[in-house]
Chain A
């Protein structure tokens, strides 16, 4: 079993504190869902995990199997088994998907191990089939001119090809049609098991119907204010985030303040 541990994490961007002490532990074999209103810091958390240079960690620790993740470069975190699906994947004109995926798979080979190219292509084609993208995508440029949904599917393909220990999926379900939602679930469920853990950031309950998370957390103003099982999702659907504010006695002004920061 592997473990990703976040302790008392605080982080800021542009001099504004966004994360106010996050505590979270994810083990392989577990699926966690992270929900929370716009601007509560969900993407900030995933960016901090990825090592985005614009985000400064001001306190706390993140460790991957006991190793200090914050000491690792962005690429090293990835090679160590962390995968982040971006809320807004970047376009890289001129870089074909085939060439790119081959390279990132190759980077994970053990020293001296040679790439089995035909197995790679077979894998890639079957993964394209799983997410419902045509094989023509192999020769397209990475994310260039992709529709929103195609970009999300491309993130999934990468996750399936890399088989990370931990995946953080930032709103992988937004902008997807219902069929695509099911394919996301298929992708995640394909990896689900003893060697894989995930943090699924979402606004929608629908994705939970297909990917059944073991834990649900609610992020509010940079803090995880409540954790529980799947029933939390139903509570949110029924009552909205106002309920969270009332339950945790968070003053209205603080909320306003956050909104001002957000705008």
Chain B
């Protein structure tokens, strides 16, 4: 164990990381279209003035907000509204063993947990590399650290709700999770923000040996908002990850999800649902990075575009030389609802080992009018028929998700789709 960390207060260590990140933020420029990942999302076209370093000190008010989700379908609910202490609600026994650390309202940690919290923050700072992630790491006032002790099995998911209450400052909903060995656990990260907000967050998850982890990030952001999420997962030996993200709303959503398969026989499944309407641009990148032998990974992304909506999906499978016997797949299906909407797929492979099975495929289709005729000829109204086809298109992803993730995010995105239908 690193004694220098223990001698220092963890708070000071974290503030140190914030300082380094602030400096990086100040010195760096916004990503430009010259960089492959940013080719189709030109930040010069957006008003980035909301993305600023916080002027505020780390003073914390202790006001509490009410927990919205009281249904008991989660093992633990953490409601983190900016600048307030998180409200925590336990719904499953065993979840009291989960360590939750908020830098804005710190608790005493034992030595080993101190190291874990420090490592999660340091790893993130070392891994994420652009101006937006530097901003996210410049302050931990909205951050939550979670440590799942070894051998803990929770049936219900942990729900972490991030909610910004003002659009004035940039909102930095960071989540750091350490998952111990031989565990079973699920997380749902909800990010809510008001209209016109500027959001940049990171998610850093380390999955220990033999862990079985389900994660979901669901964004529900106000109109005219810009949101950037950088997500990183590291999987040790035999770890299983099922990750889901849904993106809808706002003006721009840009997410990057990287999975490092670092231990043998790790298994990662990435699912995503994008729904873009009006003038929303959603740009999602996934990276399946195979670093160890005998790993499996699969990304399945579906996007629906409507009105002038646009989605971009960039999927990369990268296989290192030592990662023989890799099995990696990537599929992307797009449904374009009208002329003027657009969905782009950019899959790519970087393979440095010959003994692998890798493939990628993408399709883009329109709603087939013969399908509409079929459904309407059975009495279903035209609009509802379109809705059913769209839901059906997405449900082949939803049907692969664990029930709790499915029910929550499906409701959310279907609600959004329905709202849009009613408005238009």
* In-complex Cβ contact of A104 among B370, B378, B391, B393 (8 A): B378
A interface size (C-beta, 8 A): 29
* In-complex Cβ contact of A50 among B368, B377, B395, B396 (8 A): B377
**Chain A residues, CB < 8 A from B379:** 75, 78-79, 104, 107-108, 162
Rounded to whole angstroms, the CA-CA distance of A141 and B394 in the bound complex is: 13
Chain A residue nearest to B395 (CB atoms) is: A94
Most buried by A among B373, B388, B389, B395: B373
* In-complex Cβ contact of B380 among A52, A77, A89, A104 (8 A): A104
Interface residues on B, range: 20 to 34
Rounded to whole angstroms, the CA-CA distance of A74 and B383 in the bound complex is: 12
**Chain B residues, CB < 8 A from A91:** 371
User: Is B422 an interface residue when CB atoms closer than 8 A count as contact?
Assistant: no
User: Is B382 an interface residue when CB atoms closer than 8 A count as contact?
Assistant: yes
Rounded to whole angstroms, the CA-CA distance of A142 and B376 in the bound complex is: 14
In A59-85, the 8 Å CB interface with B consists of 73-75, 77-79, 83-84
| Chain B interface, >50% SS class | helix
CB of A82, distance to nearest CB on chain B (Å): 9
Rounded to whole angstroms, the CA-CA distance of A79 and B369 in the bound complex is: 20
Task: Please determine whether B374 and A95 come into contact, CB atoms closer than 8 angstroms.
Answer: no
Task: Please determine whether B373 and A78 come into contact, CB atoms closer than 8 angstroms.
Answer: no
In B255-280, the 8 Å CB interface with A consists of none
Task: Please determine whether A78 and B377 come into contact, CB atoms closer than 8 angstroms.
Answer: yes
Task: Please determine whether B375 and A92 come into contact, CB atoms closer than 8 angstroms.
Answer: yes
User: Knowing A92-B388, A95-B392 touch, does A162 contact B378 (C-beta < 8 A)?
Assistant: yes
Task: Please determine whether B392 and A92 come into contact, CB atoms closer than 8 angstroms.
Answer: yes
CB of B400, distance to nearest CB on chain A (Å): 11
CB of A22, distance to nearest CB on chain B (Å): 20
Chain B residue nearest to A141 (CB atoms) is: B392
Residues of A within 8 A of B (CB): 50-53, 73-75, 77-79, 83-84, 86, 89-95, 100, 103-104, 107-108, 141-142, 158, 162
What are the 7 tightest A-B residue pairs by CB atom distance, in nearest-first order? A94-B392, A94-B395, A78-B379, A95-B392, A90-B374, A74-B376, A75-B376
Could you list some 25 contacts between A and B, CB below 8 A? A50-B377, A51-B377, A52-B373, A53-B373, A74-B373, A75-B376, A75-B379, A75-B382, A77-B377, A84-B377, A90-B370, A92-B375, A92-B388, A93-B392, A93-B393, A94-B391, A94-B393, A94-B394, A94-B395, A95-B388, A95-B389, A95-B395, A107-B380, A141-B392, A158-B378
If A86-B377, A104-B380, A142-B392 are given as contacts, then 9 extra A-B residue pairs at C-beta distance below 8 Å, sorted by A number, are A74-B382, A75-B378, A75-B379, A78-B378, A83-B378, A92-B371, A94-B393, A94-B396, A162-B378
